Amino acid sequence: MRALLVLVLLGRIACSEAYPDRPLTVVIPFPSSGSTDIAGIPRISKLFRVMQTVSVPSLTDKLVEELRQTLGGTLGQSINVYRRTRGKTNAGTRYVALAAADGHTLLFADNPTITIFPALSPNPPLDALKDLVPVATFAHMPIAMIASTNHPRQSVREAIERARRLPGSMNYASAGDGSTSHLTGELFRAISGAHIVHVNYNGSLPALNAIMTSQVELGFVPLAAALPYLKGGKVRIIAVTNSTRHPLVPAVPTIAESGIDGFDASGWFGVFAPARTPDAIVSLLNYEINRALSEELLQRTLISQGLLPAPGTAEDFRALVEKDRGRWTRLLKTAAIKH
């Protein structure tokens, strides 16, 4: 840790006079309705654009605003936000990959953008770990395994036993083909041996509606999307899929605690820069983002939204990207996904 601090301080000294020397741009590859894990991939129309301008800010936009305030306040430069959404997030990602590697253009992305969508394409437009450099993880997004309150209460173990006893009789909803919630469900099916059938919905809200109306029995959706429906008793969270319980639902066990040892799957949001961005600039940005994540106010804000703060080094983030890319790529070879 001491060596890291020395490196960060040296990096700050080396680039403090030259960087940043003008406003920064943070590129968002999602529509204002949010990332694909939350909102799906809407058909863009004139009416949809009008609705976007008057809608409540999405979770993704709220996170980018937190990032904008964080970096703007510490770097002494304004932060512009540029939305580039075409091509299933490819347009925004490619825009940053082709930008000057000087730390003034950054990408705010989620794990489907970086680790799932490229694996679904026969000719991916870029290689995230060659054309981009991971700067910092911002937040983890736990996935919730949910059921309707209309169904008898059941545990993870009971659901597995029933699915094994009656193969193909139990369906599960997700936020869409290729979403983190879908692949988490497929990972659960593969590891547990539960013969459950995926039902694709375009976003978390349609998936939640299918659960509440008992069209499907189970669902895997981001905890952030499920939280508003807990107070009204419309859905029940059986378990969370990441390795730790969430502070907002401390009584809900993890899947690992429920009998599937080592199960750990969640989404994440993070910051990337163009490849060949100087190490000193990457270290400085990572330091400032981590300093913000150590503040109690931001921690409370992220937790209240169903997320978890995710401090760590740029090397930690790269390892996470590599792990997820390998895991999801292997799983995609066996899962039925509509490209």
Same domain, 108 and 19: yes
* Contacts (Cβ under 8 Å, ≥6 apart) of 53: none
pLDDT in tens, 192-213: 999 899 999 988 999 999 999 9
Per cent of the chain over pLDDT 70 is 87
Report CA-CA distances (Å) from 66 to 93, 177, 285, 338: 20, 29, 14, 34
CATH of the domain at 232: 3.40.190.10
Total count of domains within the chain: 2
Same domain, 110 and 43: yes
CATH of the domain at 98: 3.40.190.150
What average pLDDT does the structure give for the chain? 86
Q: What is the mean pLDDT of residues 280-299?
A: 95
**Calpha distance 95→327 (Å, rounded):** 26
Same domain, 271 and 316: yes
Same domain, 37 and 83: yes
Instruction: Report the DSSP pairing between strands 105-110 and 170-174.
Output: unpaired
Same domain, 123 and 150: no
Same domain, 172 and 83: no
- Does residue 339 fall inside a structural domain? no
Same domain, 288 and 313: yes
Band of the pLDDT at 107, cuts 50, 70, 90? very high
- Is the pTM for the entire model greater than 0.95? no
Same domain, 54 and 189: no
- Does residue 112 fall inside a structural domain? yes
Same domain, 151 and 233: yes
